[in-house]
């Protein structure tokens, strides 16, 4: 159980916190429990334990279905920045033609961690929980001072928070909450560009918090063991 | 500028080791890819009559405005051009093309293409990381296979085997970061030794296979080109591009996973070419894999690594071996950088020579290869290694199939029977010009086997499979003809464009079909990169009333990316311009109409499965218009009439505005296309067509 700050938290009136929300608030993989940057973003459970509202949505992937076409990366950078640019994509697909399936492709999407290290370490609150957009973890570019603590704090490789060297700020997956170049509603209540363009349906969206602590919470069967998939000759072994 | 272009083309002079730039705007009217490549070759090649190994040969490796974007089935291709080493009686100015992620990285690095001039005095590889371009020592890479070369270059560029994290390229965090491996295009080991056979390979099996470009690279002392881009390409209308992508997904299984059984027989529009997944041994664990931005994913990656990124004829479809053997051969073929299609033709020829008792230990063609076990792993391995190392019959094979047959004194005889299946220009028979006429004519009047399946899937394979398996056609021949005529702008007023009857294949209408095909492929497929596995999309079971995406989809993507308002007809006219420019180069290289003849078997031998012994072909059933009605009819067993082919050529030349005596474009035709300078040069060479 983490440190409890009783003096600076915001206590929403009438908010009931479920056991699941409470537990997932402390369940981020490999994270410490320093409240720090979570000031003003957490809430107190009825018994005064400080927790972070879980994201209203998560990307799930099936790495055995991914065809490595990187359309998701192109779409992500396109809808956020108006350009196609792998280095600006908030989902990263890496691949190696000389490796054996299924290790030839990795899919690196933000897990919208229940206890987000990137939010936790941000000294300015730039990387924050966006309560107006389903509690998605995202970067307010105007507040980013470019310290890259978020990039370094992400427990996953490659870091899901990334540095935008052209515009000089960090950025990360916001579940398409802010996509000025796409006329579709995004965020946890809307569409995600990567899942929309994925021809193999290897990316999906869920509102349910995935099981934490292992890849299998996020890397799931999205049809790779189905008869339809096998009917095309794709045997995932 | 938000128009899909990076804005500059890289120009590398290997002789002087200078790195320069050409503004893309100078060539933007040509679209990209092949259009720009031909125009640049015209401008920079001092003498197109030289051999492909001459330092004066100019090689272009071109992306286009759609490369690296979400233009689906168009974002992943790269077009390679130059004077080739494969065709006979001379190496024509030719083309090849490969998929993967090379053109994407080239664009993100800030380049719309690469022009390579001259010859390096030392063995080098070209290293492009964004705007930083250097020539590196390739001595230690020269004898390595294509896979080893690429992995060594990855380590060289990234400094260490990638840990899967963000690499900072350059000295500051703002100079660019990437999680990606460089995209590398490599020739095989010592490719100068088997130049006419030598391909260029990117990743596991994206091959610029035909033309001998691996040999051209080697002749320039160039081993490989590596590119890693951390930048981006602005798109004119991102939202329109997203909408276009989801629209096109509706024309493929991608948008119809709940309804994927509703597909045209054979191939269209499924993920993974049927035949690719089954090319692997049973039980192999697989995923589909696709080029950048694709919507179909035509090949696979496997848990055995062998065969990764390979598909279709890469798997030795004419050798008669088992999948267990094929994957070993495929892996070696890609590593060695050998032209898979030459191997497609070689196996039937060797089988014929064995049956004749002409080849083997102590025979007229003496060879110690294990011909008694032609479907064993050892045979294929030994055969391929003999070509690469010039041992045994490989010494003669490495000259090229035509040249080898000539040396063995068998050229005329084996072309007359089709035992050596070189349909035209020394290129291996791919599809049959006796039955699928537009394929044969397109090859004959061009420079190589066209490898463009636009009509092939719909007019040959689909009705053939329906007929062979007793299936009810999804569309009648009449409906197919209606749909396609409408799409084949500017010839939409012709109702009989896909009449493959005995009379139809020599008609002026077939001339229009052939011309349409040349123009469409030059612009949409080879200049803009619309991939052969997804386009043209004529008849599609997911389309409204079976109407596919072609003539709507191509401009939709192009205009969304570039911000232009180009019509399909305008694009076709650019294609006609590119085609005429290519024709002018071939004419300068010595082309005359009397050279444009098929091998004798095309005229003298009936088209059956036995000649030329290409096992993947099935007897051709195609749409015909006879006695006032459309039907699907078997046209198997047909052979071409020499005089009628000559008469067809006359019709074609007239249609294209070329001198019917010579096949040379006239001044009027060229000037109407804005090619006055081309007309002047042809005139200066005494090769301008008479009006």
Asked if A45 contacts A16 with a C-beta cutoff of 8 angstroms, the reply is no
Q: How far away is chain A from the Cα of B457, in angstroms, using its nearest Cα?
A: 19
Residue among B60, B6, B53, B454 nearest B267 (CA)? B454
Has residue B48 got a pLDDT over 60? yes
Given a cut of 80, is residue B479 above it in pLDDT?
A: yes
* pLDDT tops 90 at residue B357: yes
Rounded CA gap, A33 and A26, in Å?
Answer: 8
pLDDT value of residue B310: 94
Q: Kindly report, residue by residue over B307-343, the tens digit of the pLDDT.
A: 999 988 899 878 889 999 999 999 999 999 999 999 9
| CB spacing of A69 vs B301 below 8 angstroms | no
Q: Tell me the residues of chain A between 123 and 182 that have a Cβ less than 8 Å away from chain B.
A: 148, 151, 157-159, 162-163, 165-166, 168, 181-182
Nearest-CB residue to B303 (from A68, A182, A237): A237
Instruction: With beta carbons under 8 A apart, name residues in chain B contacting A158.
Output: 164-166, 179
**Percent of chain B's residues with pLDDT above 90:** 89
User: DSSP code of A209?
Assistant: P
Q: Residues of B numbered 189-248 whose beta carbons fall under 8 angstroms of chain A's beta carbons: which are they?
A: 203-205, 229-235, 238-239, 241-242, 245-246
CA–CA separation, B430 vs B422, rounded Å?
A: 9
In A, which residues are within 8 Å of B229 by CB distance?
86
The per-residue DSSP string of B43-110 comes to HH-S-TTS-TTSTT--EEEE--TTTTSS-TTTSS-EEEEEE-SS-SSS--EEEEEE-SSHHHHHHHTT
Chain B from 290 to 349: CB within 8 A of any A CB: 290-297, 300-305, 308-309
Instruction: Report the gap between the CA of A175 and the closest CA in chain B (Å).
Output: 16
User: What is the model's pLDDT at position A28?
Assistant: 40
Q: Does the pLDDT value for residue B563 go beyond 80?
A: yes
pTM of the model: 0.94
Tell me how far apart the alpha carbons of residues B573 and B571 are, in angstroms, rounded to a whole number. Answer: 5
pLDDT of residue A20: 43
pLDDT digits (tens), chain A, 237 positions: 333 233 333 333 334 444 444 444 443 433 333 344 455 556 666 665 557 899 999 999 999 999 999 999 999 999 999 999 999 999 999 999 999 999 999 999 999 999 999 999 999 999 999 999 999 999 999 999 999 999 999 999 999 999 999 999 999 999 999 999 999 999 999 999 999 999 999 999 999 999 998 899 999 999 999 988 988 889 888
pLDDT at B258 (0 to 100): 80
| Number of other CB atoms surrounding residue A220 within 10 Å | 17
Chain B nearest-CA distance from A1, in A, is 31
Residue B338, pLDDT score: 98
At residue B613, the pLDDT reads 74
Name the pLDDT band for B439 (thresholds 50, 70, 90). Answer: very high
For chain B, the average pLDDT equals 95
- Specify the DSSP element, H or E, that contains B329: helix B323-336
- Taking CB atoms and an 8 Å cutoff, what residues of chain A touch B293? 69-71, 74
pLDDT band per the 50, 70, 90 thresholds, residue B1? confident
pLDDT number for residue B691: 86
> Considering only CB atoms, which chain B residues are within 8 Å of A186?
none
A85/B290 Cβ within 8 A: no
**Overall average pLDDT of the B584-592 stretch:** 98
Would you state the structure tokens that stand for residue B349, as one six-digit string?
């020829």
- Check if the beta carbon of residue B588 is closer than 8 Å to that of residue B103: no
For B611-624, what is the mean pLDDT? 86
Nearest to B151 among A98, A101, A181 (CB): A98
Using one digit for the tens of pLDDT, what is the confidence trace for B6-36?
A: 999 999 999 999 999 999 999 999 999 999 9
Looking at the complex, does the CB of residue A183 fall below 8 Å from at least one CB of chain B? Answer: yes
Low-confidence winner among B175-179, B580-584, B586-590 (lowest mean pLDDT) = B175-179
B363, pLDDT greater than 80? yes
């Amino acid at each position: 159980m983490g440190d409890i700050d009783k003096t600076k938290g915001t206590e929403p009136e009438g908010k009931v916190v479920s056991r699941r929300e409470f537990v997932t608030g402390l369940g981020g993989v490999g994270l410490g429990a320093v409240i720090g940057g979570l000031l003003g973003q957490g809430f107190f459970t009825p018994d005064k334990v400080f927790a972070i509202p879980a994201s209203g949505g998560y990307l799930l992937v099936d790495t055995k279905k991914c065809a490595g076409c990187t359309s998701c990366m192109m779409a992500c950078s396109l809808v956020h920045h108006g350009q196609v640019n792998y280095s600006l994509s908030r989902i990263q697909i890496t691949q190696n033609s000389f490796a054996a399936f299924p290790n030839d492709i990795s899919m690196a999407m933000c897990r919208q961690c229940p206890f987000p290290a990137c939010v936790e370490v941000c000294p300015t609150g730039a990387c924050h929980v966006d309560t107006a957009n389903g509690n998605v973890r995202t970067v307010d570019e105007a507040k980013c001072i470019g310290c890259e603590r978020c990039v370094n704090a992400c427990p996953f490789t490659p870091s899901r928070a990334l540095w935008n060297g052209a515009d000089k700020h960090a950025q990360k997956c916001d579940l398409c909450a802010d996509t000025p170049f796409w006329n579709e509603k995004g965020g946890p209540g809307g569409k995600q560009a990567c899942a929309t363009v994925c021809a193999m349906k290897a990316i999906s969206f869920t509102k349910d918090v995935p099981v934490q602590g292992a890849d299998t919470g996020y890397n799931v069967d999205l049809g790779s063991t189905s008869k339809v998939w096998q009917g095309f000759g794709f045997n995932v072994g | 500028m938000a128009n899909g272009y990076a804005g500059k083309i890289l120009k590398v002079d290997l002789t002087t080791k200078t790195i320069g730039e050409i503004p893309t705007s100078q060539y933007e009217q040509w679209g990209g890819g092949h259009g720009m490549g031909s125009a640049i070759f015209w401008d920079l090649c001092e003498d197109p009559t030289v051999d492909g190994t001459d330092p004066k040969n100019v090689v272009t490796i071109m992306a286009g405005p759609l490369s690296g974007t979400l233009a689906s089935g168009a974002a992943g291709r790269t077009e390679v051009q130059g004077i080739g080493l494969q065709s006979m009686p001379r190496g024509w100015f030719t083309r090849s093309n490969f998929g993967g992620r090379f053109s994407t990285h080239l664009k993100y690095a800030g380049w719309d293409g690469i022009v390579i001039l001259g010859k390096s005095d030392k063995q080098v590889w070209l290293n492009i990381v964004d705007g930083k371009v250097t020539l590196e020592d390739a001595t230690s890479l020269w004898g390595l296979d294509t896979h080893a070369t690429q992995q060594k270059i990855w380590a060289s560029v990234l400094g260490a085997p990638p840990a899967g994290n963000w690499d900072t390229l350059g000295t500051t965090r703002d100079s660019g970061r990437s999680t990606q491996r460089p995209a590398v295009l490599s020739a095989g080991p010592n490719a100068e030794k088997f130049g006419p056979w030598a391909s260029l390979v990117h990743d596991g099996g994206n091959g610029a296979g035909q033309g001998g470009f691996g040999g051209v690279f080697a002749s320039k002392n160039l081993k490989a080109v590596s590119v890693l881009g951390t930048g981006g390409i602005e798109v004119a209308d991102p939202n329109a591009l997203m909408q276009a992508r989801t629209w096109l997904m509706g024309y493929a299984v991608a948008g119809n996973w709940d309804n994927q059984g509703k597909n045209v027989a054979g191939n269209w529009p499924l993920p993974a070419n049927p035949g690719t997944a089954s090319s692997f041994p049973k039980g192999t664990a697989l995923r589909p894999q696709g080029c950048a931005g694709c919507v179909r994913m035509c090949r696979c990656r496997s848990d055995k690594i062998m065969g990764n990124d390979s598909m279709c004829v890469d798997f030795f479809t004419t050798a008669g071996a088992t999948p267990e053997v094929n994957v070993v051969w495929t892996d070696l073929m890609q590593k060695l950088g050998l032209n898979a299609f030459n191997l497609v033709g070689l196996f039937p020829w060797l089988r014929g020579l064995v049956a004749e008792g002409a080849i083997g230990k102590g025979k007229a063609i003496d060879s110690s290869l294990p011909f008694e076990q032609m479907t064993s792993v050892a045979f294929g391995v030994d055969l391929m290694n003999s070509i690469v190392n010039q041992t045994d019959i490989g010494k003669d094979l490495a000259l090229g199939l035509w040249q080898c047959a000539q040396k063995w004194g068998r050229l005329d005889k084996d072309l007359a029977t089709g035992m050596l299946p070189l349909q035209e220009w020394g290129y291996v028979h791919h599809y049959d010009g006796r039955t699928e006429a537009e394929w044969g004519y397109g090859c004959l009047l061009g420079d190589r086997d066209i490898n463009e399946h636009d009509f092939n899937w719909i007019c040959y394979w689909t009705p053939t499979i329906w007929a062979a398996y007793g299936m009810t056609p999804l569309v009648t021949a009449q409906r197919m003809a209606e749909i396609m005529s409408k799409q084949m702008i500017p010839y939409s007023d012709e109702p009989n464009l896909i009449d493959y009857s005995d009379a139809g294949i020599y008609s002026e209408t077939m001339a229009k079909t052939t011309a349409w095909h040349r123009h469409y492929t030059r612009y949409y497929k080879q200049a803009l990169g619309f991939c052969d596995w997804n386009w043209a999309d004529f008849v599609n079971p997911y389309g409204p009333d079976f109407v596919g995406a072609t003539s709507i989809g191509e401009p939709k993507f192009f205009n969304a990316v570039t911000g232009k308002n180009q019509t399909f007809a305008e694009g076709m006219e650019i294609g006609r311009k590119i085609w005429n420019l290519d024709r002018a180069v071939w004419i300068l290289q010595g082309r005359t109409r009397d050279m444009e003849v098929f091998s004798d078997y095309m005229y003298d031998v009936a088209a059956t499965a036995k000649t030329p012994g290409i096992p993947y072909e099935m007897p051709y059933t195609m749409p015909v218009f006879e006695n006032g009605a459309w039907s699907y009819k078997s046209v198997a067993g047909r052979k071409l009439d020499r005089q009628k082919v000559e008469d067809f050529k006359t019709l074609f030349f007239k249609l294209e505005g070329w001198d019917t005596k010579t096949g040379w474009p006239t001044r009027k035709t060229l000037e109407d296309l804005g090619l006055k300078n081309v007309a002047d040069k042809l005139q200066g060479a005494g090769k301008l067509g008479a009006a």
